[in-house]
Chain A
Amino acid sequence: MTGSSQLPTAEQILQPSPSAILRGRIFGHSGFMIGGVVLAIIVLIAIFAPFLSKFDPYTQDLVNRMVPPGFMGGESEHLLGTDQLGRDYLARLLYGARVSLFIGIFAALISGIIGTAMGIAAGYFGGRVDTVVTFLINVRLAMPVVLVALAVVAILGGSLTVVATVLGLLLWDRYAVVMRASTLQVARREYIAAAQAIGTSTPRILLSEILPNVMNNLIVVATLEMAHAILLEAALSFLGLGVQPPTPSWGLMIAEGKDMMLFELWLVMIPGVVLFVLVLAINLMGDGLRDITSPAGRD
């Protein structure tokens, strides 16, 4: 072992900067890129829905009911045809993106706040706090989500806010589990001990030392829970106990098209495919984020 082997080699000096590595990993991850682009398109559609369709999603036109989509030989005015009440299907689809994204973001936010607070508290304080949080996670996991959500929404009435809030109050378990585990790891590091030693207040340690260091895992869970909430809203609305008509929820559109499925299969297929694409995009992005930010992938 000679001294010269300790010196950095030319390759080590010339290696790309951390941000360049990160950029390379982001653009090199096809799943993340595809998911991200598709999600961005759907977000733009939701925002600019009124400009993308000249039709209103609620206006009924009983003369022109169940006009088939343009690509199936229908008239060209309604690109994706009309539904049982003669409402433009494309317009309902575009506005439906707002419903799904609202539910996803709102529910992921509420559950994120609850679950992150619980998880970080459990991981940092340990002891009794940890016991209580772990117990609450166990209780939550034992409750059948669909059943409880359906029952509560049925009792409180199926408005968009109620559905989003109920889902938010139910879906915090994964946040709590992941945040607890990540915090346990971070809390052992020296910089936490250093912060404690110089007398940093506990809230400050939690917010400015722990939280930024578990943020990558938090974002991954948030994307997955967003997808989860969107699927659950669709399922609840499909069962007739979620968002109520005439709101253009994709799940509700599938339920409304179901009775006509024998003759007009596209009424069910179109919203289903769109829902699938949105959830797949979010999941691909979430999985991609996990690959990109996980230390194992950092060569």
Chain B
Amino acid sequence: MLGFILKRLGLALLVALTVSFISFSLLYLSGDPATAIAGESANAQDVQAIRELYGFDRPMLVQYFEWLWNALRFDFGQSYYFKLPVADLVADRLGVTMRLGVTAICFALIVAIPLGVIAAMRPNSLIDKLALFLSVAGQAMPSFWFALVLISVFSIKLGWVPASGSTTWRHFILPTIVLGYYAMPAIMRLTRAGMLEVLSSDYIRTARAKGSSEWRVMFRHALRNAIIPVVSLAAVQMGFMLGGSIVVESIFALHGAGFLAWESISRNDLPTVQALILVFSMFYIVFTLLADIVNAWLDPRMRTA
């Protein structure tokens, strides 16, 4: 088990390193970052001065290692636009995104797991088919459009919840639904498939034979085993969601890291963009690492990878 964890940790570090290099290289996609910072009105001297000030005149690899070394100490440089340390900006906004991510994944689990269980109890029934159709339809619905529909119904028509902002918990209701529904289809399908597999096993027959009630069999015996893969899926989905929060946060003007990402991309604020890509990637890497370890702990057969 320790060997597995160390191996998996090593892989995660390598992935993180590669991602950091890619997000750093983004700066160079634009050609000359110094020209971009200097703006359109700058002359050649200004650009040269900026180039020396930011150290863009040095070899790219040297700059990368310097950036990485600073990033390891949570120093991502100054934001071009906000004129503040990027680390402070990101740290300031991350709380909102994390809160949104947690509520969204909880919402998705609370809806999707019972749906999956019910669908598995009566395979090919009307409920099962309806749940499957909803999951296909859910995946086809553009999240930003779904958000607008919810706003028009619940904020504009009914006036139940605010449409934008992030000051009270009520501001989080619609964003949670929009972000959460996106994770539901996968969770529901996996729960259903896991339940179907478990329900055909011997110990379920034993439980039924000894006279346990159907609900007890379902939730006490079957779900406990069927839920194992769902746990790791939820962790992975959580990583995806944080990355996907950029769309939701910009619609609802939730001042989280996703909104910051949109702001800084629109304003060509590359140090902030680099830092955010790295931070969101790290979340994904950590979540999948945890999921793998939990999986291996729950199911020894997984420890070979």
Chain A interface residues toward B at CB < 8 A: 31, 135, 138-139, 141-148, 150-152, 154-156, 227, 231, 234-235, 238-241, 251, 254, 258, 261-262, 265, 268-269, 272, 275-276, 279-280, 283-284, 287
Residue of A nearest to B240 (CB): A144
Specify which chain B residues have a CB less than 8 angstroms from the CB of A138 in the assembled complex.
Answer: 11, 15
Contact with A along B19-37 (1 / 0, CB 8 A): 1001100100110000000
5 residue pairs A–B, Cβ–Cβ below 8 Å: A141-B288, A142-B284, A147-B280, A238-B142, A258-B148
Residue of A nearest to B276 (CB): A147
Known pairs A141-B288, A150-B246. 14 more at Cβ < 8 A? Answer: A139-B18, A142-B19, A143-B281, A147-B273, A147-B280, A150-B262, A150-B265, A151-B277, A155-B29, A235-B142, A241-B265, A258-B148, A261-B151, A268-B152
Specify which chain B residues have a CB less than 8 angstroms from the CB of A142 in the assembled complex.
Answer: 15-16, 19, 281, 284-285, 288
- Whether the Cβ atoms of B149 and A272 lie closer than 8 Å is yes
B268 CB to closest chain A CB (Å) equals 7
Complex Cα distance A81/B163, Å? 27
Residue of A nearest to B16 (CB): A142
Interface centre among B15, B30, B156, B284 (most CB of A within 10 A): B15
Contact residue among B148, B156, B273 (Cβ-Cβ distance under 8 Å from A151): B273
Complex Cα distance A275/B152, Å? 18
Q: Does B234 contact A (CB under 8 A)?
A: no
Residue of A nearest to B156 (CB): A262
- Whether the Cβ atoms of A154 and B265 lie closer than 8 Å is yes
Contact with A along B266-283 (1 / 0, CB 8 A): 101000010011001100
Q: Does B141 contact A (CB under 8 A)?
A: yes
Report the 9 A-B pairs with minimum CB-CB distance, sorted nearest first: A144-B243, A280-B140, A272-B145, A279-B140, A144-B280, A155-B30, A142-B281, A139-B18, A238-B144
Specify which chain B residues have a CB less than 8 angstroms from the CB of A148 in the assembled complex.
Answer: 23, 26, 277
Give the dominant DSSP class at A's interface: helix
- Whether the Cβ atoms of A135 and B15 lie closer than 8 Å is yes
Given contacts A152-B29, A155-B30, A262-B156, contact A283 B139 (CB under 8 A): yes
Q: Does B247 contact A (CB under 8 A)?
A: yes
Contact with A along B231-260 (1 / 0, CB 8 A): 000000000001110110010000000000
Specify which chain B residues have a CB less than 8 angstroms from the CB of A141 in the assembled complex.
Answer: 284, 288
Residue of B nearest to A144 (CB): B243
Contact with A along B139-162 (1 / 0, CB 8 A): 111111100110110001000000
Residue of A nearest to B27 (CB): A155
A270 CB to closest chain B CB (Å) equals 11
Specify which chain B residues have a CB less than 8 angstroms from the CB of A238 in the assembled complex.
Answer: 142, 144, 247
Within 8 A of A (CB), among B1-59: 11, 14-16, 18-19, 22-23, 26, 29-30
Residue of B nearest to A258 (CB): B148
- Whether the Cβ atoms of A265 and B277 lie closer than 8 Å is no
- Whether the Cβ atoms of A261 and B156 lie closer than 8 Å is yes
Q: Does B261 contact A (CB under 8 A)?
A: yes
Given contacts A139-B18, A241-B266, contact A254 B148 (CB under 8 A): yes
Residue of A nearest to B137 (CB): A280
Tally inter-chain residue pairs, CB-CB below 8 A. Answer: 129
Given contacts A154-B265, A265-B152, contact A139 B142 (CB under 8 A): no
Specify which chain B residues have a CB less than 8 angstroms from the CB of A227 in the assembled complex.
Answer: 139-140
- Whether the Cβ atoms of B250 and A239 lie closer than 8 Å is yes
Specify which chain A residues have a CB less than 8 angstroms from the CB of B244 in the assembled complex.
Answer: 144, 146
Given contacts A262-B156, A279-B140, contact A152 B26 (CB under 8 A): yes
Residue of B nearest to A152 (CB): B29
Specify which chain B residues have a CB less than 8 angstroms from the CB of A261 in the assembled complex.
Answer: 148, 151-152, 156
Specify which chain B residues have a CB less than 8 angstroms from the CB of A139 in the assembled complex.
Answer: 15, 18-19, 22
- Whether the Cβ atoms of A150 and B261 lie closer than 8 Å is yes
- Whether the Cβ atoms of B148 and A268 lie closer than 8 Å is yes
Complex Cα distance A143/B246, Å? 14
Specify which chain A residues have a CB less than 8 angstroms from the CB of B288 in the assembled complex.
Answer: 141-142
Q: Does B84 contact A (CB under 8 A)?
A: no
Q: Does B136 contact A (CB under 8 A)?
A: yes
Residue of A nearest to B157 (CB): A265
Interface centre among B26, B148, B273, B281 (most CB of A within 10 A): B148
Complex Cα distance A234/B142, Å? 8
Specify which chain A residues have a CB less than 8 angstroms from the CB of B262 in the assembled complex.
Answer: 150, 239, 241
Specify which chain B residues have a CB less than 8 angstroms from the CB of A151 in the assembled complex.
Answer: 26, 265, 273, 277
B67 CB to closest chain A CB (Å) equals 16
- Whether the Cβ atoms of B247 and A239 lie closer than 8 Å is yes
Complex Cα distance A234/B141, Å? 11
- Whether the Cβ atoms of A287 and B136 lie closer than 8 Å is yes
Specify which chain A residues have a CB less than 8 angstroms from the CB of B143 in the assembled complex.
Answer: 235
Complex Cα distance A148/B265, Å? 10
A163 CB to closest chain B CB (Å) equals 14
B131 CB to closest chain A CB (Å) equals 14
Complex Cα distance A262/B155, Å? 10
B250 CB to closest chain A CB (Å) equals 6
- Whether the Cβ atoms of B145 and A284 lie closer than 8 Å is no
Specify which chain A residues have a CB less than 8 angstroms from the CB of B18 in the assembled complex.
Answer: 135, 139
